[in-house]
Amino acid sequence: MQQRNRSWLVSIGIAALFAVPNATGRYQASIRPVVSFDIAVEKNINQPPALQIYYDQGKGFSEKHAIQVVLPAKAEVKKIQAHLPITRLHALRLDYLNGPGTVTIANLVITDPFGLVLAANFTPAQFIPHQTKSVEQQGGKFTVQTIQDADDPYVALPFQPALSAPTQGKIWPNLVFGLKIFFSISIAVEILFLIIGKSCINDWLRRKTPGCSSE
């Protein structure tokens, strides 16, 4: 009985090592905000134009918390969908160009991974501009123009309170997912032990030696 318990403890331990991180990661992914919008470069000096999306999780903006996208040089619409690796969004910053120029930003919306809208219907008054001459709105589209000598233009969107996806209805499915992994791996490891030979495994666990006696 003691030997059987030892092998089961190993099976449970291995299963937990896989189940807990997978269930936790899946749950966190289900409550992370997603930023979506369309962007087109109307006029640009620097080539190639680049976009950086900064996200503030409560400690301000930094290069470590940014996503960079190379934009088409011509006036082609680029669809952006950025899954942010955070659960609370305090502010968003769009470094829409890396030099002087003009872009259009349309259909800007922040959702959870399942499409639930967290923030939308923005107005020019909500943007905090930097090296930006104007932000003009026409329907759901913004035309953003930099100042003449811009080298780091951006517009920022602060959120008070911080945006966070609702957790209701997401804990139980991920718990079930983790339990499925846990029991599946526990059973698989136990079957593996039966194939290898439990006496060998238990002997190794008891003596802490890799050898297996045939006696």
pLDDT in tens, 24-63: 666 666 778 999 999 999 888 777 888 999 999 999 999 9
Torsion sign over Cα 85, 110, 81, 142: negative
Would you say 152 and 96 are in contact if contact means Cβ atoms under 8 Å apart?
no
Residue 107: which pLDDT band, with cuts at 50, 70 and 90? very high
Tell whether pTM > 0.75. Answer: no
pLDDT band of residue 211 (cuts 50, 70, 90) is: very low
- With a cut of 80, say whether residue 110 has pLDDT above it: yes
Going by their DSSP bridges, the two strands 154-163 and 89-95 should be labelled as antiparallel
**The domain made up of 33-163 is a member of CATH 2.60.60:** yes
User: pLDDT exceeding 90 applies to what percent of the chain?
Assistant: 47
3-state SS assignment for residue 29: helix
Phi and psi at 62, nearest 5°, equal -155, 160
The pLDDT assigned to 131 comes to 97
- Residue ranges, comma separated, of all CATH 2.60.60 domains in the chain are 33-163
State yes or no: pLDDT of 215 exceeds 60.
Answer: no
